[in-house]
Structure 1
Amino acid sequence: MLNLEPVNSGDRGEDIARLRRLYGRYPTGVAAVCALEDEKPVGIVATSFIPVSMSPALVSICVQHTSTTWPRLSKIGNLGVSVLAATHESVSRQIAAKNTDRFAGVSWMEGNNGTVFLADSAAWLECSISTSIVAGDHDVVLLEVNSTAVDEAVEPLVFHDSSFRSLSIGASS
């Protein structure tokens, strides 16, 4: 029999640590969500980027309430989502860092409507904010996909067990 432990919905440190380990067991893609603010790029990294719907075309990200960058991005409304490449580990860390120039030395390009995209990504989505839903200590943000591009030759970056990884093709059975 599986021994499941109850989760206290309060803010107990041991439950938070256990949930962090558990959630980390699920591999996710890594996306940079960026736009121009006063003609300078601003952005966050989301390891919670998820395709939601084909019609209408929707994706979602989850943003922690403690983010100081998200309120700035949410006011802009039009966002560039770059699905990061396996080679973007250091770029991901840099854009996620606090109190630093997140775009120093990062190759990026401007899209339409003030969106920003990172060069050499696996895919790009130009989005507008559809809705935002408060969910615990995060907001679930639905983004309407307005236009896209993909580079099939580029492998995506994956986040799993608190580490960045790349995909590898295993032997078929």
Structure 2
Amino acid sequence: MNADNIVVAAGAPAAAELRRVLGHFATGVAVIAAHDGTRPLGFTCQSVVSVSLDPPFVSFCPAKTSSSWPLLREQGSLCINILAEEQSALCRQFAVSGADKFAGVAWERAGNGAPALAGALAHIEVSVELEHDAGDHTVVLARVGDLRATEGGKPLLFYRGGFGGFTA
């Protein structure tokens, strides 16, 4: 189906019900980051997903109300920092609008110049390929340039409005 032909059925669920039910799907948590040449920029995101292995693509979905995303978009080169279980405070810090999100945060420049946060489980260096309008969010398709992961750590998970970890 072409995205231009999407029809919302009569009786579509209210936003609160949609959030309640979809909250039963656990997601990982990431910080999407860039550097504008003067300062680091970033925001918390729980909608990162692998799209394609060949070519290597991932996607994520910033809210249209985000004041951070337009600044990161201008840079084009980003680092997706997959957060570790013990980084829930960092997650909250990057979710606040208008604050100095990098205050007290240890990071270094990834190969593409974007901030790679210390302690993250994985760093995925990407470049923005395209964007697609999706209601109150934007779907961003990004091409993976380089990536690395720390083995043995546990992910920060978001489930039903709260943060937690993973036990096998």
TM-score between the two structures when normalised by the length of structure 2: 0.91
- The separation in 2 between residues aligned to 1:25 and 1:144, in whole angstroms, is 29
Offset at residue 40 of structure 1 (A): 1.2
Offset at residue 114 of structure 1 (A): 2.5
SS in 2 for 1:114: coil
Structure 1 equivalent of residue 134 of structure 2: 135
Per-residue Cα deviation, 1:118-157 (whole angstroms, up to 9, x for no partner): 1111111100001111011111001100001010121111
**Which runs of no fewer than 5 residues in structure 1 stay unpaired?**
9-14
| 50-59 or 95-104: bigger deviation | 95-104
Q: What's the C-alpha RMSD, in Å, of the aligned pairs? A: 1.3
Structure 2 equivalent of residue 103 of structure 1: 102
SS in 2 for 1:167: coil
Offset at residue 107 of structure 1 (A): 1.1
Higher Cα Rg, which structure = 1
Structure 2 equivalent of residue 68 of structure 1: 67
Per-residue Cα deviation, 1:2-27 (whole angstroms, up to 9, x for no partner): xxx9415xxxxxx1111111121111
Structure 2 equivalent of residue 18 of structure 1: 17
Deviant stretches of 4+, over 3 Å: none
Tell me whether 1:7 sits opposite 2:12 in the alignment: yes
- The separation in 1 between residues aligned to 2:84 and 2:39, in whole angstroms, is 23
Matched to 2:44, the amino acid is V
Percent identity reads: 36
- The separation in 2 between residues aligned to 1:42 and 1:157, in whole angstroms, is 21
**Which runs of no fewer than 5 residues in structure 2 stay unpaired?**
1-9
SS in 2 for 1:19: helix
Per-residue Cα deviation, 1:28-85 (whole angstroms, up to 9, x for no partner): 1111110112421100111001111100111110111111110000010000111000
- The separation in 2 between residues aligned to 1:53 and 1:33, in whole angstroms, is 19
Q: How many residues matched?
A: 159
SS in 1 for 2:70: helix
Offset at residue 112 of structure 1 (A): 2.6
